[in-house]
Structure 1
Amino acid sequence: MRAICEGIQQLLRERGIPHQVVTHAAVFTSEEAAQVRGVPLEWGVKAMVLKARDHFILVCIRADKKVDFHQVKRWEGTSKIRLATAPEVLQLTGCEIGSVPPFGHLQPLQTYLDQGLLAQEKVTFNIGLHEVSVVMAGKDLTQVMDATLF
């Protein structure tokens, strides 16, 4: 998990993306994260790993929103979608649930990104550890993510 944290920081530096790394008390929910970071909840990026039929996907939404499972089913052309289990998330991303970043995983995942995040002045998310976050401009997410916007 530390390697993912360091890898994401390196990627942001290599791409010249202005960002701030914040170390804080361990957080496990979006609400806890916003409170500890001292930022509005809507700045948070919630990265959710889901299982669609026989593969996994990543859905990244504002932290004050909930995943629309009906919409995801339409995107994936399936009637079955579920949240990935903790062991599945760890195997796919190298991270524990609650510390999954929107990019930088062990395995590539089809990613869907809420385009509303791009309009955010700032976004913040954990980078593989429950106690380390990044703050960056929302518009810069597309420079480090290969995602389908919705």
Structure 2
Amino acid sequence: MPIARITEYLDMHRIKYEKITHSPAYTAQEVAAKAHVSGWDLAKTVVVKLDGEFAMAVLPASEHIDLDYMAEIVNAREACLATEDEFIDMFPGCDLGAIPPFGNLFGMKVFVAPELAEDETIAFSAGTHTELIRLSYDDFEWLVEPEMIPFAVLT
């Protein structure tokens, strides 16, 4: 889902957004620095497996997932990070590590950390290591319909 597909989806729903281009970066904290976005304001998308089912966990770049707590909250027997080999083909056109948090477009449940809703906007990778999208958190929530659960902890 390169940036053109995301912006097309946003345009179709008449969502206001901003494209941010930055030099190549491969970690969430590196992206935040190069794009001049706070690590608290940049959302990273992590693919997890909950009882073998893929889902997206969306959280601030400056935090990480407490998988045991996440499993407890969603009543899963097991929660683990999905490996890149397991999901490489699920996101055509996206660079690994730059997956946008639109699980609804991939038939995937999306969980979001409550900290992201504290800001008016959300910024996230747009499928490449050089582009971000920023839009209102309310619009993101309306489009994606994520389940908000407190699974993120400081790194």
- Which TM-score band (shorter chain)? 0.7 to 0.9
Deviation at 1:85, TM superposition (A): 1.0
Which residue does the alignment assign to 1:53?
Answer: 51
Determine if the alignment matches structure 1 residue 83 to structure 2 residue 85: no
Long gaps (5+) in structure 1:
none
Once the two structures are TM-superposed, the CA of residue 79 in structure 1 deviates from its matched residue by 3.5
Mapped contact 1:117–1:139 kept (Cα < 8 A): no
**CA displacement, residues 67-112 of structure 1 (integer Å, 9 cap, x when unaligned):** 1212221134233221111122322233333201110676311111
Structure 2 counterpart SS, 1:39: coil
1:110 aligns with 2:109: yes
Summarize the alignment of residues 1-150 of structure 1 with structure 2, pairs less than 5 Å apart.
Answer: 1-2=1-2, 5-94=3-92, 95-103=94-102, 107-150=106-149
Compute the displacement of 1:130 (Å). Answer: 1.1
Q: Alpha carbon RMSD of aligned pairs, Å? A: 1.8
Aligned residues: 148
- TM-score normalised by length of structure 2: 0.85
Q: Is the 8 A contact 1:62 1:117 kept in 2?
A: yes
Segment drifting more, 100-109 vs 131-140? 100-109
| Alignment check: 8 A CA contact 2:104 2:110 kept | no
Normalised by the length of structure 1, the TM-score is: 0.87
Q: Measure the CA separation in 1 of the matches of 2:70 and 2:89.
A: 22
Give the Cα separation in 1 of the matches to 2:108 and 2:125. Answer: 18
Task: Give the distance between the partners of 1:119 and 1:128, measured in 2 at CA.
Answer: 24
> What is the identity percentage for the equivalent residue pairs of Structure 1 and Structure 2?
22
Q: 1:89 to 1:26 in 2, by over 3 A?
A: farther
